[in-house]
Amino acid sequence: MFEGYTYIKDKVKNKSFIVNFKTLIKEYSNLRLDITAPLIGHLASATVNGSQVQYMIPRQRKFYSGDVSGLNLGNKLPFPMDLKLLFNIFWAKKFNDSNWVCTDESSLKFNCFQRAENLTVRWSLHKNRQPKEIILIHPKGVVQFKVKSFASGLTQEQKNRFVMKKPNW
């Protein structure tokens, strides 16, 4: 489980904000990302299970469940991004795809660039190889994850949170 905060800068709308995140990840198979704000509370949740994705925005009463390829996050992020990239992003794994070019600055800092999407991912790692900071850079915006804590292993209760039920709004 990764926990921390995220700085999001939308260069097109000239807006920026900071939110908290908590991520549960079963390496390369299941992911859950919960986003909260200090004064507002729960903003959004998203799960990725293979090619299936679900997301919920409680304040807007929006719920989506379906194939990840059919997902359009539209104005939720400052730039388009495949949610399946989050597995590599949080586990600090270079992309094994010919569309990505990766370079090492040191054993604890490296970058990957995807020319087609004009997206750069930069990692700074702790000595134990866990992410300390992850920055996604795109001409339309920046998303910066500051990881404050990491706990390995998941309880059965946490594993049950990879599938969301549609709320009865």
In a domain, 42, yes or no: yes
Which residues lie across from 162 on neighbouring strands? none
In the sheet that 52-57 helps form, which strands lie side by side, from edge to edge? Answer: 62-67, 52-57, 41-49, 30-37, 15-26, 2-10, 141-150, 131-138, 119-125, 109-114, 100-106
Q: Say if 167 falls within a structural domain.
A: no
Asked if the structure places residue 139 within a domain, the reply is: yes
pTM: 0.84
Instruction: Note whether residue 70 is domain-resident.
Output: yes
Query: Could you read off the pLDDT of 75-116 as tens digits, one per residue?
Result: 567 887 877 788 888 888 888 888 999 998 888 899 999 988
For position 136, what pLDDT does the model report? 94
Q: What is the DSSP letter of 126?
A: -
Other Cβ atoms closer than 10 A to 124: 17
Residue 111 lies in a domain: yes
Does the structure show a pLDDT above 80 at 71?
no
Residue 71 domain-assigned (yes or no):
yes
- 31 is a domain residue: yes
Domain count within the chain: 1
Find the domain containing 79 and state its range. Answer: 2-162
Residue 168 forms part of a structural domain: no
Residue 75: per-residue pLDDT: 58
Q: What CATH code is carried by the domain that includes residue 59? A: 2.50.20.10
- Is residue 10 within 8 A of residue 141, CB to CB? The reply is yes
Task: Tell me: pLDDT of 67 over 90.
Answer: no
11-56, pLDDT tens digit by residue? 999 999 999 999 888 876 788 999 999 888 999 998 888 888 888 9
pLDDT category, 127, cuts 50, 70, 90? Answer: confident
The rounded mean pLDDT for the chain is 87
